[in-house]
Amino acid sequence: MAMIGCGSMGGGMALLFAEHGITVSLNDPSEETMDQLLATAKQDGLQDRLQKHSSYDHLCKSLGSPKVFVFSLPHGTVGDRVVDGLHTYLAKGDIIIDASNENWQNTQRRQGKLVPQGVFYIGMGVSGGYQAARRGPSMCPGGEERALDIVMPLLQKVAAKDSQGNPCVAKAGTGGSGHYVKMIHNGIEHGMMSALAESWQIMNLGLGMTYEEIADEFDRWNKDGELRGTFLVSIGADICRQKDDQGRHVLSIVEDKVVQDVDGTEGTGIWSQLEAVRLHVPAPSLTTAHFIRLASAFRADRKQVKDAFGGQFPVREWGEAKDDKKSILESLRRAIYATFLASFVEGINIIDQADQENRWNIDYSAVVQIWRNGCIIKADYITDMLADIFKEPKVDLDLLHNKRVAQELKQAFPALKETVTKGVEHNAIIPSLSATLEFLKYSTNTILPTQFYEAQLDYFGKHMFDLKSEGAGKPETGKHHFEWKLA
Q: Among all residues, which ones are annotated catalytic?
A: 182, 189
Helices (H) and strands (E) in the chain, counts: 19, 7
In angstroms, rounded to a whole number, what is the distance separating the alpha carbons of residues 334 and 227?
A: 9
CB 89 within 8 A of CB 110: no
Give the Cα-Cα-Cα angle 206, 207, 209 (nearest 5 degrees). Answer: 120
CB 65 within 8 A of CB 120: no
What pairing do the DSSP bridges indicate for beta strands 2-4 and 120-127?
unpaired
Strands across the sheet containing 120-127: 50-52, 24-27, 2-4, 68-71, 95-98, 120-127, 138-142
Neighbours of 238 (CB within 10 A): 11
CB 41 within 8 A of CB 47: yes
What are residue 138's DSSP bridge partners?
A: 127
Q: Is the dihedral of CA 41, 47, 49, 55 positive or negative?
A: positive
CB 366 within 8 A of CB 176: no
Burial of 474 (0-12, 13-18, 19+ CB in 10 A): exposed
